Chains A and B, each alone.
Chain A
Amino acid sequence: MATSFTLGWIDYTIMVVYFLFVLGIGYALKRYMKSSADFLTGGKSIPAWITGLAFISTNLGALEVMGMAASGAKYGMITTHFYWIGAIPAMIFLGLFMMPFYYGSKARSVPEYLKMRFDEKTRGFNALSFAIMTIFASGISMYALAMLMETLLGWNFTLSIFISALIVLVYTYLGGLKSAIYNEVLQFFLIVIGFLPLVFLGLISIGGWEGLTKQLAEVATSHGYAAGAYTETWKPVAHAADNPMGVEWFGLVMGLGFVLSFGYWCTNFLVVQRAMAAGSMSAARKTPLIGALPKMFIPFLVIVPGMIAMALTSDPNSGFALPIKGNSYDYDKVIPMMLGYYFPTGVLGLGLTALMASFMSGMAGNVTAFNTVWTYDIYQSYISPNRSDKHYLWVGQMATIFGILVSIGAAYMARLFNNVMDFLQLIFAFINAPLFATFLLGMFWRRTTGNGAFFGLLSGTAAAAIHHGLTQPAGATSLIKGGWLGTVVHIYPSEMAQNFWTGIFAFFTCLLLTIIISLLTKQTKTKEDLVGLVYSLTPRIKDESKHWYQRPQFLAIIVGIIAVVLSIIFW
């Protein structure tokens, strides 16, 4: 079966209708963009269910969809750990404990919070690394979309890049953050409705969950694992040798569930920005909690198709097989292959549109986070302060255009030098790994000083780099995977395990050094400075919800219960 497929008029019609709506939403919002705050922070007026869906949708970019499906095929059901343990606890923590400080501080961005809580250099470090990272992330999305269109539909690479860049540019330039958020909601529903038939058809053809379990048990035993290794979540992680991911429960819970997941969900401005755009404190706190509800069920939409693809591949009579790349399967092709295998023209257009939409929302999310950080944290802070708001609105709009142009450059760079991209992503992983320790101490220990935070953060990043330089995953062939410091002191069973432990080392180094340096240096912030920024100096907020069941705490309990039940069902 070829990977490319032909589309009918109905498929193109669906694409065109969707993109007309996307552009229309941007156009309709254009007349409300009067100040820089309207454009960059959404005017803080959006209801919680919208910001909540946007919160997870901005993360449900196509790289995530295709990557999670690929992991589903490669590792099976334990991929759900990236959701149930790797996202939900952090989202609950953000909503209950951190949002009051982000939202209450009136900071317009995460770096700005760091400026208020610590000092200029901590903010500068975070703003700069974040700005560069988002632009590259946006470029990678664009590159991946154009590559997919080239292999699937035979579209010209450059043409795909420019069309997708133009669409994203138009709707983010016209409607700013609000337009990005509204379109993320639209995209969220499109992905769910577009992929649902895939899961249904896949499960029907394989004989339901039972049939899938049976087929994957054969795959598991043929690889020397226990029969449930691909369809259970916690049993296979007792030892690293028991599961294809090569991770053990401690590294998983500590590395993924705590350090990496809290670092991502609680400090990454890309997602936190959505919650900050909410209309009230209560809505801001509920944003990650409302997002968590659908988030828990997304594995069934993206991971299960990957598992079905693996099961079909292992069955020689199915007529479906993942393509081979090098000495393993080309797992990244799972979603496009499955779409082509099950979908007739009509829903095929819908599925492809959903995929394109998710690529573009990945770009738009990064661009809108970039222009805010650029305008407020770099331009207004270091380049040209004290200008009129009209001027900053203009700068924000220019930053949108500039950000997209640089993204295009990054997309071509990714095409030319794959290694540069891997290298950059590695550097950013080092920068992000310790960040949560800084926020945790900053929000809950008022003695934390600016110098402590800054140098603690730098040492955490250094610790991540050194750990990576001294260790290797089993079977590593290139230095980008680790071991570049010459001596290898430890070999991890897999790259995933190495990542988790890099995060753990970075986090605890940052935590420890921030405490030590804070105790040795003087606190430059007065008590008054820190009101609203630190837990012990902030008056307890009273939730304005009328009924107890509308409060964030109640929602958090519901979310927690569902996550536990899901984990037990698929134990």
Chain B
Amino acid sequence: MEIDIRLPIGFMFALLGLLLLIFGLTTEGDPELYKRSLEINVNLWSGSLMIIFGGLMLLFGLRAKRSKTK
């Protein structure tokens, strides 16, 4: 396979996750914003989840790439 799809997937989710995480941190404790999501900082949570998922994808993708070049 020419392109390992795990790398772009991992990269995209890590990037979007980081964006949401930072946005979540800067808006932490904003009662107006998080009133609708039951006072849960859902940006922070989603962002963290996406970073973990993206990171795992990158990890698997890079490991496969390394074992192939060896």
Contact = CB atoms under 8 A, between A and B. Distances in A.
Contacts of A185: 5, 9
Interface string B1-30: 111010011011101100110011001000
B35 to A, nearest CB: 8
A347 B33 CA distance: 12
Given A46-B1, A201-B42, A343 B37 contact: yes
How many A residues touch the partner, as a band?
20 to 34
Contact of B3 (A14, A28, A193, A197): A28
Interface in A41-66: 45-47, 50
B16 A201 contact: no
A253 interface: no
Contacts of A342: 36-38
- The secondary structure that dominates the A interface is helix
A385 interface: no
B23 A350 contact: no
B5 A341 contact: no
A182 B5 CA distance: 7
Given A17-B16, A344-B33, A347-B20, A197 B45 contact: yes
B58 interface: no
Interface string A343-371: 11111001000000000000000000000
Given A18-B16, A186-B8, A350-B20, A345 B33 contact: yes
A423 B65 CA distance: 51
Nearest to A31: B2
Nearest to B20: A346
Contacts of B8: 21, 24-25, 28, 182, 186
A347 B42 contact: yes
A25 B5 CA distance: 9
A521 interface: no
Contacts of B40: 201, 204
Contact of A32 (B2, B23, B27): B2
Interface of A: 10, 13-14, 17-18, 21, 24-25, 28-29, 32, 45-47, 50, 182, 185-186, 189, 193, 196-197, 201, 204-205, 341-347, 350
